[in-house]
């Protein structure tokens, strides 16, 4: 243990030049394209097909064919999600209070410079227009799968991902499925507060609305209504991914990165800007930390987690550690390039305001997000990792308050990766 602690001290005092380097849009676009139904891995592609087929089956319910009207009624079945268990708990998710906290956290959006907003518009146009068919197909599946957890199988690796889809369909993860979806704090109040138009509604835009040839398969262009900032889908995807990462810490980094990739899909479809996605990441991280520090929520979380892990081991036929282990070339979300992609999504290469570099401060209890994934480290060590691996100051939405600075600059996969060097 003394050796590990001394190694940690060395790492925390070392410089991390990679964190300060910008990742280009071209580089990020190529990496995002590597995790689609047309990837280089036949195993990954087969798992994507299985997940998509399960999603389309769930969306149509008992109907013979899937129609557009089914999408508005989409929800996990009573077999998939044990909503009765959750309702019986009487837990109060304090939705309104958390929504207000989210609005305050994102208040810096209202003071952004015109140059930042222009870069925001330029970036969505570039990502949307240059997306490949495979990336668009992935984005459509992500969009219409918002009410379900199928998308998370992508980041679980070839063995665990398959076991997850089987257990989810059988209803063996009911408590986790119910709790995770109930933990999503709606962004509706924030959308009304900021009242920012979506990219495809701005006069003179060049957005290409993607025709649906994946889900309903009627080629109707995918669209969305309501305000743009922040992104509701990203909030959902990141909340789901982060909570699943807390339940399966063996896949922590891959699952967190999947949340970021889910947000990227919203930009591909041209219905959200980078800032919308960045803001929702901040809010989702804050909300998950808030819940995990609540003893009543934690009791429900532990019960759901235990049921999930037992079910996954049953379907795997081996220990969860073995099942969740690295899957070689077919384990695409464990490719080091995905950490680079995640780094890009923290800023989307939007302009950084130079000037005084504010020292980051870790909010009380924020270390809970890495506690399960890094059990060999103390709270103080985790907090130090969060500071050391944080993004540079000055990027959009980092604002002026300590909370804004922290949640905008937090890089969970980087902190996790650094800790692995001493484990």
Q: Return d(Cα 134, Cα 123) in angstroms, integer.
A: 19
Going by C-alpha positions, the residue among 314, 309, 47 that lies closest to residue 157 is 47
For the chain, give the longest Cα–Cα distance: 63
- Asked if the peptide bond before residue 12 counts as cis, ω within 30 degrees of 0, the response is no
pLDDT score recorded for residue 76: 97
Convert the pLDDT of each residue in 302-359 to its tens digit: 999 999 999 999 999 999 999 999 889 999 999 999 999 999 999 999 999 886 667 8
Convert the pLDDT of each residue in 38-59 to its tens digit: 999 999 999 999 999 999 999 9
Going by C-alpha positions, the residue among 299, 293, 313 that lies closest to residue 85 is 299
Residue 13 banded pLDDT, cuts 50, 70, 90:
low
Question: b/e string for 374-402 if b means 16 or more Cβ within 10 A?
Answer: beebeeebbbbbbbbbbbebbbbbbbeee
pLDDT score recorded for residue 166: 97
Going by C-alpha positions, the residue among 151, 155, 133 that lies closest to residue 143 is 151
Q: Do 86 and 300 form a contact (C-beta atoms < 8 A)?
A: yes
Residue 15 banded pLDDT, cuts 50, 70, 90:
very low
**Of residues 3 and 146, more confidently modeled:** 146
Three-state secondary structure string covering the chain: CHHHHHHHHHHHHCCCHHHHCCCCHHHHHHHHCCCCCCCCCHHHHHHHHHHHHHHHHHHHCCCCCCCHHHHCCCCCCCCCCCHHHHHHHCCCCCHHHHHHHHHHHCHHHHHCCHHHHHHHHHHHHHHHHHCCHHHHHHHHHHHHCCCCCHHHHHHHHHHHHHHHHHHHHHCCCHHHHHHHHHCCCCCHHHHHHHCCCCHHHCCCCCCCCCECCCCCCCCCECCCCCCCCCCHHHHHHHHHHHHHHHHCHHHHHHHHHHHHHHHHHHHHCCCCCHHHHHHHHHHHHHHHHHHHCCHHHHHHHHHHHHHHHHHHHHHHCCCHHHHCCCCHHHCHHHCCHHHHHHHHHCCCCCCCCCCCCCCCCCCCCCCHHHHCCCCCCCHHHHHHHHHHCCCCCCCCCCCCCHHHHHHHHCCHHHHHHHHHCCC
Residue 20 scores a pLDDT above 50: no
The pTM (predicted TM-score) of the whole model is 0.95
Phi, psi of 221 (to 5 degrees): -60, 135
**Domain locations in the chain as residue ranges:** 23-341+396-408
| 23-341+396-408 topology per CATH | Vanadium-containing Chloroperoxidase; domain 1 (1.20.144)
Residue 8 scores a pLDDT above 70: no
pLDDT score recorded for residue 26: 95
Convert the pLDDT of each residue in 102-133 to its tens digit: 999 999 999 999 999 999 999 999 999 999 99
Q: Do 411 and 343 form a contact (C-beta atoms < 8 A)?
A: yes
Convert the pLDDT of each residue in 179-208 to its tens digit: 999 999 999 999 999 999 999 999 999 999
Q: Return d(Cα 195, Cα 230) in angstroms, integer.
A: 10
**Of residues 405 and 2, more confidently modeled:** 405
Separation in Å, CA 154 to CA 14, 81, 150 = 34, 20, 8
| Cα–chain center distance at 400 | 25
């Amino acid at each position: 243990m003394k050796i590990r602690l001394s190694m940690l001290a060395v790492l925390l005092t070392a410089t991390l030049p990679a964190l300060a380097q910008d990742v280009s849009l071209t580089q990020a676009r190529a990496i995002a394209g590597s995790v689609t139904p047309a990837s280089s891995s036949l195993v990954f592609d087969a798992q994507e097909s299985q997940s998509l087929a399960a999603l389309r089956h769930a969306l149509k319910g008992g109907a013979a064919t899937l129609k557009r009207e089914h999408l508005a009624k989409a929800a996990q079945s009573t077999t998939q999600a044990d909503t009765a268990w959750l309702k019986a708990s009487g837990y109060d998710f304090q939705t309104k209070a958390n929504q207000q906290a989210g609005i305050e956290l994102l208040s810096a959006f209202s003071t952004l410079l015109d140059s930042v907003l222009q870069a925001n518009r330029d970036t969505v146009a570039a990502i949307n227009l240059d997306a490949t068919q495979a990336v668009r197909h992935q984005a459509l599946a992500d969009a219409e799968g918002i009410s379900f957890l199928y998308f998370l199988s992508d980041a679980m690796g070839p063995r665990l991902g398959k076991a997850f889809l089987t257990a989810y369909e059988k209803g063996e993860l009911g408590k986790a499925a119910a709790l995770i979806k109930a933990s999503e704090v709606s962004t509706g109040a924030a959308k009304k507060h900021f009242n920012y138009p979506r990219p495809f509604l701005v006069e003179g835009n060049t957005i290409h609305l993607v025709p649906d040839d994946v889900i309903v398969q009627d080629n109707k262009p995918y669209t969305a209504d309501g305000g743009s900032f922040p992104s509701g889908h990203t909030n959902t995807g990141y909340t789901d991914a982060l909570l699943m990462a807390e339940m399966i810490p063996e896949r922590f980094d891959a699952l967190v990165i999947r949340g970021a990739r889910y947000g990227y899909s919203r930009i591909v479809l041209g219905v959200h800007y980078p800032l919308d996605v960045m803001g929702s990441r901040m809010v989702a991280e804050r909300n998950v930390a808030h819940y995990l520090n609540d003893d009543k929520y934690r009791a429900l979380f532990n019960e759901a987690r235990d049921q999930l892990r037992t079910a996954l081991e049953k379907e795997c036929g081996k220990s969860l550690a073995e099942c969740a282990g690295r899957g070689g070339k077919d384990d695409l979300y464990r490719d080091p390039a995905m950490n680079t992609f995640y780094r890009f999504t923290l800023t989307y290469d939007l302009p950084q305001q130079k000037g005084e570099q504010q020292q980051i401060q870790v909010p009380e209890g924020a270390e809970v997000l890495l506690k399960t994934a890094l059990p060999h480290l103390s709270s103080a060590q985790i907090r130090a990792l969060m500071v050391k691996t944080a993004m540079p100051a000055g990027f959009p939405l980092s604002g002026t308050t300590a909370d804004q600075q922290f949640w905008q600059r937090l890089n969970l996969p980087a902190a996790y990766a650094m800790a692995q060097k001493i484990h």
